[in-house]
Amino acid sequence: MWEYIKYYFAPLVQVLAILGFYQGGHYTWIAIAAFPGIAILDSLLPLDLKERKMNNHFWAYLPVWISTLLLPVMYFAFAWSVKHNDLTGLQMAAGVAGLAWLSVVPGVPATHELYHSRGRLARFVGRYGQVVFLDAMRMEVHVVGHHRDVGTPEDVDTARRGTSVYRFAPRAALESFLWELKLDADTLEKRGHARYGIRHSLWRALLAIVVFLGIIHVLGGWLAVGLCAIPMVIARFWVEAMNYYQHYGQVRITGTPIEKRHVWNHFGTLSRIYAFEITNHADHHLNSYVPYYKLVPDRNAVVMPSIITCFLSGFIPPLWHAIVKPALKQWDNEHASPAERRLAQEQNQRAGWEDWFDDQNGRGTRPDEPKLAHG
């Protein structure tokens, strides 16, 4: 039973945050206070490379559903608190920061898990659960685009080496939005409908935002609407930041098969359960329908620190490079194919990084490939 129970950690944090908003006063700090606590524990605990022994899909997915459904409830509770609890400026700021953080984690992993499901209801709830971070159109771009193009120049979710998170996140947010507009418009046109007619997902996404903010207005007035809009915008860019850390600097030749080595994994003990295994996602890129509890940790992967450590370090580029450069060097020399090594070397040169390859011009071989004799 413990295998199932521990995944209720995420909804527990959300419930505590909701109770804090309801009580008001200094209790509004509970949501954001969870962040440093989880970050410190995750960095101190040993890595977790164990496979999960879970076979009951219903009980495994119940906490995922609960976390997704609690996302709007968190906002509604804060909106109510703004109107009824006479919060100070600092307490409102704490609530805003807490909502932004909890919208991304566990918000992103929970909704991501649902919209990768085969069930229509799960995909619907997963899609519109993303309204809390203004991303109710991501599903098709992610499933059709990112999972096909990961690691290639065509993937908007893969940051090239030398790109800072400050440059990547706004650009990725815009490009993914424009890509979704075109993807849905192309699909509608093929079916004989107007490209941007009423059937386009854009209008449903906008309606979801209007309804969501309308409920917030009813509960807390215009001040609550303004305050709740802030974490929604912040979370939108933090979502792109999560992609930044999970795919930064990876390279793959367009059209070649996706392998486990083409993504970063983060096996933090706490973050694996709090983020519904989204950091253990090598298997996920081989088969996007595999549920989170059946993902098997890749023991041959380059070891990365806690995803939260990476997330925090990314806002200080020199610190992030101190973490990711050794990982990329190991990946280039031990896991990349010869063609991928050449691409990696080109990116390093454009970024102004050192040449750390074991050979010249990226002509080395992976350990599992035969070395060709020269002469």
DSSP string, 151-196: TSTT-TTSPPTT--HHHHHHHHHHHHHHHHHHHHHHHHHHTTS-TT
Q: Is residue 375 part of a domain?
A: no
Q: Is residue 205 part of a domain?
A: yes
Q: Is residue 285 part of a domain?
A: yes
Say how many residues make up the chain. Answer: 375
User: What was the pLDDT predicted at 272?
Assistant: 96
What phi and psi, each to the nearest 5 degrees, are found at residue 351?
-80, -10
Q: Is residue 75 part of a domain?
A: yes
What phi and psi, each to the nearest 5 degrees, are found at residue 118?
-85, -20
Q: Which residues pair with 47 in a beta bridge?
A: 268
At 47, is the secondary structure helix, strand, or coil? Answer: strand
Q: Is residue 262 part of a domain?
A: yes
Residue 136 identity: A
Would you write out the chain's pLDDT as a tens digit for each of its 375 residues?
999 999 999 999 999 999 999 999 999 999 999 999 999 999 999 999 999 999 999 999 999 999 999 999 999 999 999 999 999 999 999 999 999 999 999 999 999 999 999 899 999 999 999 999 999 988 888 888 888 999 999 999 999 999 999 999 999 999 999 999 999 999 999 999 999 999 999 999 999 999 999 999 999 999 999 999 999 999 999 999 999 999 999 999 999 999 999 999 999 999 999 999 999 988 999 988 899 999 999 999 999 999 888 999 999 999 999 999 999 999 999 999 999 999 999 999 999 999 998 655 444 444 444 333 332
Residue 364 is encoded by which pair of tokens? 């080395």
- Sign (positive or negative) of CA dihedral 338, 344, 345, 346: positive
Q: Is residue 111 part of a domain?
A: yes
User: What was the pLDDT predicted at 359?
Assistant: 57
Q: How many domains, the chain?
A: 1
At 120, is the secondary structure helix, strand, or coil? Answer: helix
Question: Whole domain around residue 331: which residue ranges?
Answer: 2-351
Asked if residue 249 lies in contact with residue 159, where contact means CB atoms within 8 angstroms, the answer is: yes
